[in-house]
Structure 1
Amino acid sequence: MQTPPSPSDAITVSNLRKTYRIREGGSWRGKTRDIVALDGISFSVPKGQIAGFIGPNGAGKSTAIKILSGILRPTSGEVQVNGLVPWTNRIAHVARIGVVFGQRTQLWWDLSVAEGLALLRDIYGVEPERFTRNRARLADALDLGAIMDQSVRQLSLGQRMRAEIAASLIHDPDILILDEPTIGLDAPSKLAVRAFVHELCRDRGTTVLLTTHDMHDIEALAERVIVIGHGRILADSPFEDLRTTTLSERILELDFHDTPPELTLPAGAHETAREPHSLTITFDPSQIPAPALVAHVGHLPGLDDLRISRPSIDEIITRFYADHAA
């Protein structure tokens, strides 16, 4: 018997499968075969949480997002988003979610941002007073005042993405689905978008499902990471748990006046790079704690400086994908 969704969950996915049938050989007479895009995935997202949904190209992310958005119908399985089945309650469903596709626009190229928002007001049936209030709030939070009267085609990519986020929120959705929301943005624009998403969840309790190849977005925003690969859920945990289980090594960088000396390292540490004036040592803190390693190298002749860091999130995710490659 299927377990009913928890009332505290905004999104519930149970044993979701999606299979595409393709024809080989470029002819309508060619043989067909099935491609499994989603192979029985299950997960839930509580109300008010920011969840990262990541995976390599071809993992099944886009298919899952399209099903959650009501664009695609699955082959089998169950989905509820705010208590609605996306593909059977489509009109009611889209009125309660916001979606931002970083490589597509929901605004109209030849209309101004203000005109596009007004058109969405009519499409969603937003009451005039609520629309005025939401437009003012979003324009202030996303710094849209100077571009409201510009056509969308005249905007920079950063300006357009901020306008797209406003468009997705003009009707007060409970759930926001972000697909590559910072693609192509410069650093200040990325920081602005991340700050806004944080405030949205904190102040309004909006649930956010974030899918992106920018792992810094995931690290900055997601309370939890769902990793998909080959159509299956490979991991579902806080990012720190994924870091610990995937790549727990630390990095010790040493700078010297002159050529670094030769040295013997304790178990759990090994030299990974040597430059004319620097050394890089990778170590496992469960075998050699950082203070002990620093004490071991701290008296080396000519040592100028040292730094300890963790592998970057990109290195961690790359290692995870490699460990789970088919």
Structure 2
Amino acid sequence: MSNAIEVKQLRKEFKVFSSRSGLKGAFRDLLTRKYKVVPAVNDINFTVKQGEMVAYIGENGAGKSTTIKMLTGILTPTSGSVRVNGMDPHREREKFARTIGVVFGQRSQLWWDIAVQESFRLLKKVYKVPDEQYNEHMAHIIETLDIGPLLDKPVRKLSLGQRMRCELAAALIHNPPLLFLDEPTIGLDVLVKVKIRQFLKDINQKYNTTILLTTHDLADIEAVCDRVVMLDEGKIIYDGGLQSLKNNWAEEKEIHFQFLEEVRLSQLESLPLLFETSWDYDEKNQTFIAYIKEESDNISQLISAVVSHFKIKDVNILETSIEEIVRNIYEQGISTAVRGV
């Protein structure tokens, strides 16, 4: 399988004005400005295979958008090399632009005052898409995204959710092999998010479209991506499977129990278990919650011990969410440890 993206020792530095303190410093700044060089992306390496769906995540200022802009040819790297779809995005920009689709949650590629379908036709001309290919491909996209009723409306009259679905369709008019998505579900309601996530999985299966997704909505990652690349201060601190990240960094598992008879918390705490278990009671849902480490067969041992002593009405096993895992990683400042996952 060929690589859609190849990044080697990629670096981007920005020259930032550094003001001096006090009134005297302000006058000096008028005469001679003081600058410092700040690396936004710091010698990163990664590859993305054709057909992969990869989440590219990090805190604000971590370097995500800067990386995307270099991968799409908007910014020129300070050093290092980038090959996307076998081309240099900056030097072969016109040819390269025909092989990618881009959706920025904060920017529009649709014309504000004309009907959506007119924007689509203009983009069809820009990308030189044949009529037959356009009609067949767009019929599928329009139906899947449920934007048929929106085609005659000016873009300015669409809601945010409607516009984002149309933006996604516009990015795929020329059926690119690679799709960049930067915060595509920002501000959208749950139903629209679900529709977009399912659509992304559909085009990946149907056309083997490679997708690189940056988002702060970690539910998008769990729904769409199998691989995560995590950035911190311009450096990659984790690159691997989503499930591997969960397995290595999920601190605890929650097992929720409901019983057919009255049970006291002290009875559960006195169960003969060979591993540490903490218990809590959720009064609202009348549920007892056990917290245990995700190791070997701890879950089966716990459930067996509970079943042998009490009559169970229901049991539910909850995984630590990817959002909690990522938050813990950043809060604990364990960049070096994560690289070894």
Does TM, normalized by the shorter one, top 0.5? Answer: yes
- 2:253 is equivalent to residue 264 of structure 1: no
1:35 CA displacement: 1.4
Which of 2, 9, 22 is residue 15 of structure 1 equivalent to?
Answer: 9
State the Cα deviation string for residues 51-95 of structure 1 (Å, max 9, x = none): 111111111111001111111111101000011111111111111
The equivalent of 2:307 in structure 1 is: 298
Report the Cα distance in structure 2 between the residues aligned to 1:298 and 1:212, rounded to whole angstroms: 42
Report the Cα distance in structure 1 between the residues aligned to 2:214 and 2:220, rounded to whole angstroms: 9
TM-score (norm 2): 0.87
Which of 104, 124, 128 is residue 127 of structure 2 equivalent to?
Answer: 124
- Answer yes or no: is the 8 Å Cα contact 1:52–1:211 preserved in 2: yes
Residue-pair matches, total = 320
Q: CA RMSD in A?
A: 2.1
Report the Cα distance in structure 1 between the residues aligned to 2:282 and 2:192, rounded to whole angstroms: 36
- Taking the TM superposition and a 5 Å limit, the aligned residue runs for 1:34-183 are 34-183=37-186
1:282 CA displacement: 1.1
Distance 1:274 1:95, change over 3 A: same
- Answer yes or no: is the 8 Å Cα contact 1:258–1:302 preserved in 2: no
Identical columns (%):
38
Q: If each structure's helix is expressed as a fraction of its own residues, which one has the higher value?
A: 2
1:44 is paired with a residue of what secondary structure? strand
TM-score (norm 1): 0.91
- What 5-or-longer segments of structure 1 have no aligned partner? 1-6
Report the Cα distance in structure 2 between the residues aligned to 1:132 and 1:285, rounded to whole angstroms: 51
1:108 CA displacement: 1.2
Report the Cα distance in structure 2 between the residues aligned to 1:56 and 1:48, rounded to whole angstroms: 26
- 2:278 is equivalent to residue 274 of structure 1: no
Q: Which amino acid aligns with 2:138?
A: R
- 2:323 is equivalent to residue 314 of structure 1: yes
- Answer yes or no: is the 8 Å Cα contact 2:101–2:171 preserved in 1: yes
2:324 is paired with a residue of what secondary structure? helix
Report the Cα distance in structure 2 between the residues aligned to 1:278 and 1:196, rounded to whole angstroms: 37
- Answer yes or no: is the 8 Å Cα contact 1:253–1:280 preserved in 2: yes
Q: Which amino acid aligns with 2:3?
A: D
1:10 CA displacement: 0.6
- Answer yes or no: is the 8 Å Cα contact 1:260–1:278 preserved in 2: no
Report the Cα distance in structure 1 between the residues aligned to 2:322 and 2:244, rounded to whole angstroms: 12
Q: Which amino acid aligns with 1:291?
A: S
Report the Cα distance in structure 2 between the residues aligned to 1:153 and 1:325, rounded to whole angstroms: 45
1:269 is paired with a residue of what secondary structure? coil
Distance 1:104 1:291, change over 3 A: same
1:34 CA displacement: 1.5
Report the Cα distance in structure 2 between the residues aligned to 1:221 and 1:288, rounded to whole angstroms: 29
- 2:216 is equivalent to residue 213 of structure 1: yes
- Answer yes or no: is the 8 Å Cα contact 1:260–1:279 preserved in 2: no
Q: Which amino acid aligns with 1:274?
A: Y
Distance 1:81 1:264, change over 3 A: same
- Answer yes or no: is the 8 Å Cα contact 2:105–2:186 preserved in 1: yes
- Answer yes or no: is the 8 Å Cα contact 1:247–1:316 preserved in 2: yes
2:109 is paired with a residue of what secondary structure? coil
Report the Cα distance in structure 2 between the residues aligned to 1:314 and 1:267, rounded to whole angstroms: 30
The equivalent of 2:23 in structure 1 is: none
State the Cα deviation string for residues 224-248 of structure 1 (Å, max 9, x = none): 1111111111111110101111115
Which stretch shows the higher mean deviation, 138-147 or 25-34? Answer: 25-34
Q: Which amino acid aligns with 1:140?
A: E
1:272 CA displacement: 5.6
